[in-house]
Chain A
Protein backbone atom coordinates (compact mmCIF):
# COMPACT_ATOMS: atom_id res chain seq x y z
CA UNK A 1 0.00 0.00 0.00
CA UNK A 2 1.21 3.40 -0.85
CA UNK A 3 1.27 6.09 1.71
CA UNK A 4 -1.42 8.62 1.12
CA UNK A 5 0.14 11.92 0.15
CA UNK A 6 -0.67 14.95 2.19
CA UNK A 7 -3.41 16.76 0.41
CA UNK A 8 -3.79 20.48 0.46
CA UNK A 9 -7.21 21.62 -0.51
CA UNK A 10 -7.27 25.01 -2.02
CA UNK A 11 -10.31 26.21 -3.83
CA UNK A 12 -9.47 27.20 -7.35
CA UNK A 13 -10.78 30.52 -8.39
CA UNK A 14 -11.38 31.47 -11.93
CA UNK A 15 -10.22 34.98 -11.33
CA UNK A 16 -10.03 37.79 -8.82
CA UNK A 17 -13.77 38.45 -8.92
CA UNK A 18 -14.46 34.84 -8.04
CA UNK A 19 -12.06 35.03 -5.17
CA UNK A 20 -13.59 38.27 -3.90
CA UNK A 21 -17.08 36.84 -4.07
CA UNK A 22 -15.88 33.86 -2.12
CA UNK A 23 -14.40 36.08 0.59
CA UNK A 24 -17.50 38.23 0.75
CA UNK A 25 -19.63 35.17 1.05
CA UNK A 26 -17.36 33.61 3.64
CA UNK A 27 -17.40 36.73 5.78
CA UNK A 28 -21.13 37.10 5.27
CA UNK A 29 -20.89 40.73 4.38
CA UNK A 30 -22.92 42.91 2.08
CA UNK A 31 -21.50 43.67 -1.33
CA UNK A 32 -22.54 47.30 -0.84
CA UNK A 33 -20.79 47.47 2.46
CA UNK A 34 -17.56 45.61 1.99
CA UNK A 35 -15.17 45.77 4.92
CA UNK A 36 -12.26 46.68 2.70
CA UNK A 37 -9.62 46.22 5.33
CA UNK A 38 -10.61 42.65 6.19
CA UNK A 39 -11.25 41.61 2.63
CA UNK A 40 -8.00 43.09 1.36
CA UNK A 41 -6.07 41.31 4.06
CA UNK A 42 -7.68 37.98 3.31
CA UNK A 43 -7.25 38.50 -0.37
CA UNK A 44 -3.52 39.11 0.01
CA UNK A 45 -3.24 36.12 2.33
CA UNK A 46 -4.76 34.00 -0.33
CA UNK A 47 -2.29 35.26 -2.91
CA UNK A 48 0.56 34.48 -0.53
CA UNK A 49 -0.81 31.00 -0.10
CA UNK A 50 -0.92 30.55 -3.84
CA UNK A 51 2.68 31.65 -4.12
CA UNK A 52 3.72 29.40 -1.26
CA UNK A 53 2.16 26.48 -3.06
CA UNK A 54 3.96 27.42 -6.23
CA UNK A 55 0.73 28.21 -8.01
CA UNK A 56 1.26 30.76 -10.65
CA UNK A 57 -0.63 33.88 -9.72
CA UNK A 58 -2.20 35.33 -12.80
CA UNK A 59 -1.70 39.00 -13.47
CA UNK A 60 -5.36 39.74 -12.95
CA UNK A 61 -5.08 38.78 -9.31
CA UNK A 62 -2.32 41.30 -8.81
CA UNK A 63 -4.24 44.06 -10.54
CA UNK A 64 -7.13 43.43 -8.19
CA UNK A 65 -4.79 43.48 -5.21
CA UNK A 66 -3.60 46.91 -6.30
CA UNK A 67 -7.19 48.08 -6.71
CA UNK A 68 -8.07 46.86 -3.25
CA UNK A 69 -5.16 48.66 -1.69
CA UNK A 70 -6.03 51.79 -3.60
CA UNK A 71 -9.59 51.69 -2.35
CA UNK A 72 -8.38 51.08 1.15
CA UNK A 73 -6.17 54.14 1.02
CA UNK A 74 -8.98 56.24 -0.41
CA UNK A 75 -11.11 55.20 2.51
CA UNK A 76 -8.49 56.48 4.89
CA UNK A 77 -8.46 59.93 3.41
CA UNK A 78 -10.71 62.37 5.20
CA UNK A 79 -13.85 63.06 3.24
CA UNK A 80 -13.44 66.28 1.35
CA UNK A 81 -15.67 69.16 2.15
CA UNK A 82 -17.49 69.80 -1.04
CA UNK A 83 -20.97 70.31 -2.36
CA UNK A 84 -20.89 67.13 -4.28
CA UNK A 85 -21.66 64.01 -2.41
CA UNK A 86 -18.55 61.96 -2.35
CA UNK A 87 -19.03 58.58 -3.93
CA UNK A 88 -18.15 55.63 -1.81
CA UNK A 89 -14.83 54.38 -3.23
CA UNK A 90 -16.02 50.87 -2.54
CA UNK A 91 -18.49 51.17 -5.38
CA UNK A 92 -15.51 50.64 -7.61
CA UNK A 93 -15.54 47.13 -6.24
CA UNK A 94 -19.23 46.57 -5.65
CA UNK A 95 -20.48 47.42 -9.11
CA UNK A 96 -18.25 45.07 -11.10
CA UNK A 97 -18.94 42.37 -8.55
CA UNK A 98 -22.67 42.80 -8.83
CA UNK A 99 -22.47 42.79 -12.59
CA UNK A 100 -20.38 39.66 -12.51
CA UNK A 101 -22.78 38.08 -10.08
CA UNK A 102 -25.65 38.67 -12.42
CA UNK A 103 -23.94 36.79 -15.18
CA UNK A 104 -23.00 34.02 -12.81
CA UNK A 105 -26.66 33.70 -12.09
CA UNK A 106 -27.51 33.82 -15.75
CA UNK A 107 -25.01 31.01 -16.22
CA UNK A 108 -26.79 29.07 -13.54
CA UNK A 109 -30.05 29.61 -15.29
CA UNK A 110 -28.57 28.22 -18.49
CA UNK A 111 -27.19 25.31 -16.52
CA UNK A 112 -30.70 24.54 -15.34
CA UNK A 113 -32.19 24.47 -18.81
CA UNK A 114 -33.01 21.14 -20.43
CA UNK A 115 -29.91 20.83 -22.59
CA UNK A 116 -30.14 19.21 -25.94
CA UNK A 117 -27.98 16.11 -26.09
CA UNK A 118 -27.63 16.12 -22.31
CA UNK A 119 -31.15 16.15 -20.87
CA UNK A 120 -33.38 16.11 -23.88
CA UNK A 121 -32.89 14.56 -27.26
CA UNK A 122 -34.30 15.10 -30.67
CA UNK A 123 -34.61 12.51 -33.35
CA UNK A 124 -31.35 11.39 -34.85
CA UNK A 125 -27.84 12.10 -33.73
CA UNK A 126 -27.62 15.80 -33.33
CA UNK A 127 -23.94 16.37 -33.85
CA UNK A 128 -24.42 15.47 -37.43
CA UNK A 129 -25.60 18.56 -39.18
CA UNK A 130 -27.04 17.07 -42.31
CA UNK A 131 -25.06 18.50 -45.17
CA UNK A 132 -27.32 19.78 -47.87
CA UNK A 133 -26.48 18.81 -51.40
CA UNK A 134 -24.11 16.02 -50.53
CA UNK A 135 -22.91 15.46 -54.06
CA UNK A 136 -20.91 18.62 -54.11
CA UNK A 137 -18.66 17.88 -51.25
CA UNK A 138 -16.51 20.82 -50.35
CA UNK A 139 -13.42 19.23 -48.93
CA UNK A 140 -12.16 20.86 -45.86
CA UNK A 141 -8.55 20.71 -45.07
CA UNK A 142 -8.34 18.31 -42.24
CA UNK A 143 -5.16 18.32 -40.29
CA UNK A 144 -3.66 15.35 -38.56
CA UNK A 145 -4.45 17.06 -35.28
CA UNK A 146 -8.16 17.13 -36.05
CA UNK A 147 -8.00 13.44 -36.61
CA UNK A 148 -6.10 12.91 -33.40
CA UNK A 149 -8.65 15.04 -31.58
CA UNK A 150 -11.45 12.93 -32.92
CA UNK A 151 -9.56 9.82 -31.96
CA UNK A 152 -8.99 11.15 -28.49
CA UNK A 153 -12.72 11.66 -28.09
CA UNK A 154 -13.29 8.05 -28.90
CA UNK A 155 -10.56 7.04 -26.48
CA UNK A 156 -12.09 9.19 -23.77
CA UNK A 157 -15.35 7.45 -24.24
CA UNK A 158 -13.66 4.09 -24.17
CA UNK A 159 -11.98 5.08 -20.94
CA UNK A 160 -15.28 6.08 -19.38
CA UNK A 161 -16.72 2.64 -19.73
CA UNK A 162 -15.37 0.51 -16.98
CA UNK A 163 -15.40 -3.10 -17.95
CA UNK A 164 -13.95 -5.71 -15.71
CA UNK A 165 -13.70 -8.46 -18.28
CA UNK A 166 -10.45 -8.81 -20.12
CA UNK A 167 -11.15 -9.66 -23.73
CA UNK A 168 -9.15 -12.73 -24.63
CA UNK A 169 -9.43 -12.46 -28.34
CA UNK A 170 -7.92 -9.43 -29.87
CA UNK A 171 -8.80 -8.28 -33.30
CA UNK A 172 -5.90 -8.24 -35.64
CA UNK A 173 -5.26 -5.24 -37.76
CA UNK A 174 -5.69 -7.25 -40.93
CA UNK A 175 -9.03 -8.61 -39.81
CA UNK A 176 -10.21 -5.17 -38.94
CA UNK A 177 -9.08 -3.81 -42.29
CA UNK A 178 -10.96 -6.59 -44.02
CA UNK A 179 -14.03 -5.87 -41.93
CA UNK A 180 -13.90 -2.19 -42.75
CA UNK A 181 -13.37 -2.98 -46.41
CA UNK A 182 -16.55 -5.06 -46.32
CA UNK A 183 -18.34 -2.24 -44.62
CA UNK A 184 -17.19 0.37 -47.11
CA UNK A 185 -18.21 -1.81 -49.98
CA UNK A 186 -21.80 -1.21 -48.98
CA UNK A 187 -21.61 2.02 -47.03
CA UNK A 188 -20.52 5.00 -49.00
CA UNK A 189 -20.29 7.48 -46.23
CA UNK A 190 -19.83 6.96 -42.50
CA UNK A 191 -19.15 9.07 -39.51
CA UNK A 192 -15.71 8.58 -38.05
CA UNK A 193 -17.04 7.88 -34.58
CA UNK A 194 -19.51 5.32 -35.89
CA UNK A 195 -16.75 2.88 -36.59
CA UNK A 196 -15.73 2.65 -33.00
CA UNK A 197 -17.46 0.69 -30.36
CA UNK A 198 -15.94 1.85 -27.09
CA UNK A 199 -17.23 -1.26 -25.37
CA UNK A 200 -15.01 -3.45 -27.45
CA UNK A 201 -12.03 -2.29 -25.48
CA UNK A 202 -9.10 -0.05 -25.95
CA UNK A 203 -7.03 -2.26 -28.21
CA UNK A 204 -9.92 -2.74 -30.61
CA UNK A 205 -10.36 1.00 -30.75
CA UNK A 206 -6.71 1.47 -31.55
CA UNK A 207 -6.76 -1.27 -34.15
CA UNK A 208 -9.76 0.38 -35.79
CA UNK A 209 -7.98 3.69 -35.88
CA UNK A 210 -4.92 2.14 -37.48
CA UNK A 211 -7.14 0.32 -39.95
CA UNK A 212 -8.77 3.58 -40.95
CA UNK A 213 -5.41 5.21 -41.50
CA UNK A 214 -4.26 2.26 -43.54
CA UNK A 215 -7.38 2.26 -45.70
CA UNK A 216 -6.94 5.96 -46.30
CA UNK A 217 -3.30 5.45 -47.18
CA UNK A 218 -4.21 2.76 -49.67
CA UNK A 219 -6.79 5.06 -51.19
CA UNK A 220 -9.88 3.02 -50.39
CA UNK A 221 -11.41 5.72 -48.33
CA UNK A 222 -11.27 9.43 -48.01
CA UNK A 223 -11.29 11.21 -44.69
CA UNK A 224 -12.99 14.55 -44.75
CA UNK A 225 -14.92 17.19 -42.95
CA UNK A 226 -17.69 19.34 -44.38
CA UNK A 227 -16.80 22.39 -42.38
CA UNK A 228 -14.63 23.35 -39.50
CA UNK A 229 -15.67 21.44 -36.39
CA UNK A 230 -18.27 19.35 -38.16
CA UNK A 231 -18.05 15.63 -37.60
CA UNK A 232 -15.26 13.88 -39.42
CA UNK A 233 -16.57 11.54 -42.07
CA UNK A 234 -15.18 8.72 -44.09
CA UNK A 235 -16.21 8.12 -47.66
CA UNK A 236 -15.39 5.04 -49.63
CA UNK A 237 -13.87 5.43 -53.07
CA UNK A 238 -15.72 2.87 -55.15
CA UNK A 239 -13.21 3.12 -57.98
CA UNK A 240 -10.47 1.87 -55.67
CA UNK A 241 -12.58 -1.11 -54.73
CA UNK A 242 -13.11 -2.05 -58.34
CA UNK A 243 -9.39 -2.14 -59.02
CA UNK A 244 -8.66 -4.00 -55.84
CA UNK A 245 -11.44 -6.49 -56.41
CA UNK A 246 -10.05 -7.64 -59.73
CA UNK A 247 -7.27 -9.91 -58.59
CA UNK A 248 -9.27 -11.08 -55.62
CA UNK A 249 -8.75 -9.82 -52.14
CA UNK A 250 -6.24 -7.04 -51.95
CA UNK A 251 -2.94 -8.10 -50.64
CA UNK A 252 -2.96 -5.99 -47.59
CA UNK A 253 -1.54 -8.53 -45.28
CA UNK A 254 2.07 -8.31 -46.28
CA UNK A 255 3.26 -4.96 -45.01
CA UNK A 256 1.09 -4.72 -41.99
CA UNK A 257 2.67 -6.98 -39.47
CA UNK A 258 1.11 -9.13 -36.84
CA UNK A 259 -1.94 -8.59 -34.67
CA UNK A 260 -1.47 -6.18 -31.85
Chain B
Protein backbone atom coordinates (compact mmCIF):
# COMPACT_ATOMS: atom_id res chain seq x y z
CA UNK B 1 0.00 0.00 0.00
CA UNK B 2 2.98 2.29 -0.02
CA UNK B 3 4.31 2.59 -3.54
CA UNK B 4 3.37 5.33 -6.00
CA UNK B 5 0.42 7.62 -5.25
CA UNK B 6 -2.29 5.85 -7.14
CA UNK B 7 -2.16 2.62 -8.97
CA UNK B 8 -4.21 2.34 -12.09
CA UNK B 9 -7.40 0.37 -11.74
CA UNK B 10 -7.20 -0.55 -8.11
CA UNK B 11 -9.06 -3.77 -7.41
CA UNK B 12 -12.13 -3.46 -5.31
CA UNK B 13 -10.54 -4.39 -2.01
CA UNK B 14 -7.97 -1.67 -2.59
CA UNK B 15 -10.59 0.83 -3.69
CA UNK B 16 -12.48 0.19 -0.47
CA UNK B 17 -9.32 0.93 1.47
CA UNK B 18 -8.69 4.11 -0.51
CA UNK B 19 -12.19 5.25 0.30
CA UNK B 20 -11.73 4.34 3.91
CA UNK B 21 -8.63 6.51 4.09
CA UNK B 22 -10.38 9.48 2.52
CA UNK B 23 -13.48 9.16 4.63
CA UNK B 24 -11.52 8.69 7.79
CA UNK B 25 -9.48 11.80 7.18
CA UNK B 26 -12.42 13.99 6.27
CA UNK B 27 -14.53 15.86 8.77
CA UNK B 28 -17.22 16.71 6.24
CA UNK B 29 -19.35 14.42 4.14
CA UNK B 30 -17.41 13.47 1.02
CA UNK B 31 -19.39 13.40 -2.18
CA UNK B 32 -18.80 10.71 -4.74
CA UNK B 33 -17.77 13.43 -7.15
CA UNK B 34 -15.16 14.70 -4.78
CA UNK B 35 -13.84 11.21 -4.18
CA UNK B 36 -13.60 10.69 -7.91
CA UNK B 37 -11.67 13.90 -8.29
CA UNK B 38 -9.20 12.85 -5.63
CA UNK B 39 -8.80 9.51 -7.37
CA UNK B 40 -7.91 11.29 -10.61
CA UNK B 41 -11.16 10.17 -12.25
CA UNK B 42 -9.74 6.70 -12.55
CA UNK B 43 -12.77 5.12 -11.00
CA UNK B 44 -16.38 5.39 -12.07
CA UNK B 45 -19.14 6.80 -9.92
CA UNK B 46 -20.75 3.41 -9.89
CA UNK B 47 -17.62 1.70 -8.61
CA UNK B 48 -17.24 4.28 -5.87
CA UNK B 49 -20.82 3.89 -4.74
CA UNK B 50 -20.42 0.16 -4.76
CA UNK B 51 -17.22 0.39 -2.75
CA UNK B 52 -18.93 2.70 -0.26
CA UNK B 53 -21.61 0.09 0.14
CA UNK B 54 -19.00 -2.59 0.75
CA UNK B 55 -17.24 -0.42 3.30
CA UNK B 56 -20.47 0.33 5.10
CA UNK B 57 -21.38 -3.34 5.19
CA UNK B 58 -17.97 -4.23 6.54
CA UNK B 59 -18.27 -1.79 9.41
CA UNK B 60 -21.78 -2.98 10.11
CA UNK B 61 -20.53 -6.52 10.26
CA UNK B 62 -17.76 -5.53 12.65
CA UNK B 63 -20.39 -3.98 14.91
CA UNK B 64 -18.30 -0.91 15.67
CA UNK B 65 -19.38 2.24 17.50
CA UNK B 66 -19.46 4.22 14.29
CA UNK B 67 -20.90 3.64 10.87
CA UNK B 68 -20.67 4.99 7.37
CA UNK B 69 -23.69 7.16 6.71
CA UNK B 70 -24.89 8.67 3.49
CA UNK B 71 -25.67 12.27 4.15
CA UNK B 72 -26.02 15.58 2.31
CA UNK B 73 -25.01 14.06 -0.99
CA UNK B 74 -21.93 12.41 0.45
CA UNK B 75 -20.56 9.84 2.81
CA UNK B 76 -19.38 10.33 6.34
CA UNK B 77 -18.37 8.27 9.32
CA UNK B 78 -20.59 8.98 12.28
CA UNK B 79 -20.85 7.52 15.72
CA UNK B 80 -23.91 5.48 16.47
CA UNK B 81 -26.68 7.25 18.31
CA UNK B 82 -26.35 5.07 21.40
CA UNK B 83 -22.91 6.52 22.03
CA UNK B 84 -24.16 10.09 21.59
CA UNK B 85 -24.34 10.91 25.31
CA UNK B 86 -20.81 9.66 25.78
CA UNK B 87 -19.29 11.58 22.89
CA UNK B 88 -21.22 14.68 23.89
CA UNK B 89 -19.16 14.77 27.08
CA UNK B 90 -16.04 15.10 25.01
CA UNK B 91 -17.34 18.01 23.04
CA UNK B 92 -16.59 21.57 23.95
CA UNK B 93 -19.66 22.92 22.23
CA UNK B 94 -23.12 22.61 23.68
CA UNK B 95 -25.29 20.08 21.86
CA UNK B 96 -27.70 21.41 19.33
CA UNK B 97 -31.02 22.38 20.79
CA UNK B 98 -34.04 23.70 18.95
CA UNK B 99 -37.26 24.95 20.42
CA UNK B 100 -40.57 23.52 19.37
CA UNK B 101 -41.32 26.70 17.47
CA UNK B 102 -37.98 26.47 15.67
CA UNK B 103 -38.53 22.85 14.70
CA UNK B 104 -42.01 23.56 13.42
CA UNK B 105 -40.80 26.48 11.36
CA UNK B 106 -37.88 24.48 10.10
CA UNK B 107 -40.13 21.68 8.93
CA UNK B 108 -42.35 24.16 7.13
CA UNK B 109 -39.34 25.69 5.41
CA UNK B 110 -38.07 22.24 4.51
CA UNK B 111 -41.31 21.17 2.89
CA UNK B 112 -42.48 24.42 1.37
CA UNK B 113 -39.29 26.05 0.19
CA UNK B 114 -38.89 28.57 -1.25
CA UNK B 115 -41.20 29.96 1.37
CA UNK B 116 -42.05 33.48 2.48
CA UNK B 117 -42.12 34.56 6.05
CA UNK B 118 -45.75 35.51 5.54
CA UNK B 119 -46.57 31.96 4.50
CA UNK B 120 -44.77 30.62 7.54
CA UNK B 121 -46.77 32.92 9.73
CA UNK B 122 -50.02 31.99 8.02
CA UNK B 123 -49.34 28.30 8.62
CA UNK B 124 -48.25 28.66 12.21
CA UNK B 125 -50.59 31.50 13.09
CA UNK B 126 -47.88 33.43 14.91
CA UNK B 127 -45.10 35.85 14.25
CA UNK B 128 -42.03 34.01 12.99
CA UNK B 129 -39.40 36.74 12.74
CA UNK B 130 -37.41 35.65 15.76
CA UNK B 131 -37.56 32.01 14.85
CA UNK B 132 -36.35 32.66 11.32
CA UNK B 133 -33.46 34.66 12.66
CA UNK B 134 -32.50 31.86 15.01
CA UNK B 135 -32.64 29.31 12.19
CA UNK B 136 -30.55 31.57 9.96
CA UNK B 137 -28.01 31.93 12.74
CA UNK B 138 -27.72 28.21 13.16
CA UNK B 139 -27.16 27.83 9.44
CA UNK B 140 -30.16 25.56 9.02
CA UNK B 141 -32.08 28.02 6.89
CA UNK B 142 -30.88 30.47 4.32
CA UNK B 143 -32.27 33.23 2.19
CA UNK B 144 -33.00 31.92 -1.27
CA UNK B 145 -33.96 35.16 -2.91
CA UNK B 146 -36.76 37.62 -3.22
CA UNK B 147 -40.27 37.10 -4.42
CA UNK B 148 -41.61 39.40 -7.06
CA UNK B 149 -44.27 40.79 -4.81
CA UNK B 150 -44.82 44.21 -3.32
CA UNK B 151 -41.97 44.90 -0.95
CA UNK B 152 -39.90 42.17 -2.61
CA UNK B 153 -40.11 39.86 0.39
CA UNK B 154 -37.36 37.32 1.06
CA UNK B 155 -37.83 33.65 0.45
CA UNK B 156 -36.25 31.02 2.64
CA UNK B 157 -35.01 27.49 2.14
CA UNK B 158 -32.98 24.92 3.99
CA UNK B 159 -29.22 24.66 3.78
CA UNK B 160 -26.86 21.83 3.15
CA UNK B 161 -26.09 21.96 6.84
CA UNK B 162 -29.73 21.12 7.48
CA UNK B 163 -29.25 17.86 5.58
CA UNK B 164 -26.12 17.14 7.56
CA UNK B 165 -27.71 17.79 10.91
CA UNK B 166 -30.75 15.61 10.29
CA UNK B 167 -28.83 12.91 8.47
CA UNK B 168 -30.66 13.29 5.19
CA UNK B 169 -29.16 12.29 1.88
CA UNK B 170 -31.03 15.03 0.10
CA UNK B 171 -34.34 16.82 0.38
CA UNK B 172 -35.90 13.87 -1.39
CA UNK B 173 -35.05 11.92 1.71
CA UNK B 174 -37.74 13.74 3.65
CA UNK B 175 -40.76 11.51 3.90
CA UNK B 176 -43.94 12.93 2.53
CA UNK B 177 -46.12 14.65 5.06
CA UNK B 178 -48.68 11.95 4.47
CA UNK B 179 -46.21 9.29 5.42
CA UNK B 180 -45.37 11.06 8.61
CA UNK B 181 -48.86 11.83 9.69
CA UNK B 182 -51.16 9.47 11.37
CA UNK B 183 -52.93 7.55 8.70
CA UNK B 184 -56.41 7.97 10.09
CA UNK B 185 -56.14 11.72 10.18
CA UNK B 186 -54.80 11.90 6.72
CA UNK B 187 -57.02 9.52 4.89
CA UNK B 188 -59.54 12.26 4.83
CA UNK B 189 -57.39 14.89 3.30
CA UNK B 190 -57.85 15.11 -0.36
CA UNK B 191 -54.72 16.63 -1.74
CA UNK B 192 -54.41 13.84 -4.24
CA UNK B 193 -50.69 14.40 -4.27
CA UNK B 194 -49.40 11.86 -1.87
CA UNK B 195 -46.10 10.10 -2.27
CA UNK B 196 -44.35 12.67 -4.37
CA UNK B 197 -41.10 11.83 -2.80
CA UNK B 198 -41.23 8.25 -1.84
CA UNK B 199 -37.82 7.02 -0.95
CA UNK B 200 -35.71 6.34 -3.97
CA UNK B 201 -33.10 3.70 -3.40
CA UNK B 202 -29.71 5.34 -3.64
CA UNK B 203 -29.89 7.82 -6.50
CA UNK B 204 -26.55 9.12 -7.61
CA UNK B 205 -25.95 12.29 -5.64
CA UNK B 206 -25.86 15.50 -7.51
CA UNK B 207 -22.42 16.87 -7.94
CA UNK B 208 -21.93 19.09 -4.97
CA UNK B 209 -19.01 20.96 -3.62
CA UNK B 210 -18.57 20.70 0.11
CA UNK B 211 -19.50 24.30 0.42
CA UNK B 212 -21.90 25.21 3.18
CA UNK B 213 -23.83 27.89 1.42
CA UNK B 214 -24.56 25.85 -1.60
CA UNK B 215 -27.75 25.43 -3.57
CA UNK B 216 -30.02 22.57 -3.07
CA UNK B 217 -32.91 22.24 -5.36
CA UNK B 218 -35.90 23.31 -3.40
CA UNK B 219 -38.37 21.62 -5.64
CA UNK B 220 -41.20 19.18 -5.56
CA UNK B 221 -41.51 19.66 -1.87
CA UNK B 222 -44.65 21.62 -2.20
CA UNK B 223 -47.14 19.01 -1.25
CA UNK B 224 -49.73 21.29 0.11
CA UNK B 225 -51.04 23.19 -2.81
CA UNK B 226 -54.05 24.98 -1.64
Interface residues of A (CB under 8 A from B): 14-18, 31-32, 58, 60, 64, 96, 98-111, 113-127, 129-130, 153, 156-157, 160, 193-194, 229
A250 → chain B closest CB, angstroms: 29
Q: Pick the contact of B91: A18, A31, A32, A125 (CB < 8 A).
A: A125
Q: Are A32 and B94 within 8 A (Cβ)?
A: no
Q: Are B84 and A118 within 8 A (Cβ)?
A: yes
Q: Pick the contact of B93: A109, A123, A125 (CB < 8 A).
A: A125
The 5 closest A-B pairs by CB, nearest first: A15-B126, A124-B27, A106-B107, A107-B103, A119-B84
Q: Pick the contact of B123: A100, A123, A229 (CB < 8 A).
A: A100
Assuming the contacts A58-B126, A60-B126, A122-B27, asked whether A103 and B107 have C-beta atoms less than 8 A apart, the reply is yes
Cα(A64)–Cα(B32), bound, Å: 51
B166 → chain A closest CB, angstroms: 4
Q: Which residues of A contact B188 (CB under 8 A)?
A: 32
CB-contacts of B150-207 with A (<8 A): 164-168, 174-175, 177, 180-182, 185-186, 188-189
Q: Are B175 and A116 within 8 A (Cβ)?
A: no
Q: Are B180 and A109 within 8 A (Cβ)?
A: yes
A246 → chain B closest CB, angstroms: 35
Q: Pick the contact of B125: A100, A102, A109, A126 (CB < 8 A).
A: A100
Cα(A14)–Cα(B121), bound, Å: 12
Q: Are A105 and B27 within 8 A (Cβ)?
A: no
Q: Which residues of B contact A126 (CB under 8 A)?
A: 27, 93
Which of B84, B101, B110, B168 has the most chain A CB atoms closer than 10 A to its own CB?
Answer: B84
Assuming the contacts A102-B177, A115-B165, A116-B165, asked whether A122 and B100 have C-beta atoms less than 8 A apart, the reply is no
- Interface status of B113 (Cβ within 8 A of chain A): no
Q: Pick the contact of B95: A113, A118, A125 (CB < 8 A).
A: A118
B68 → chain A closest CB, angstroms: 11
Assuming the contacts A123-B77, A229-B137, asked whether A115 and B96 have C-beta atoms less than 8 A apart, the reply is yes
Cα(A60)–Cα(B26), bound, Å: 48
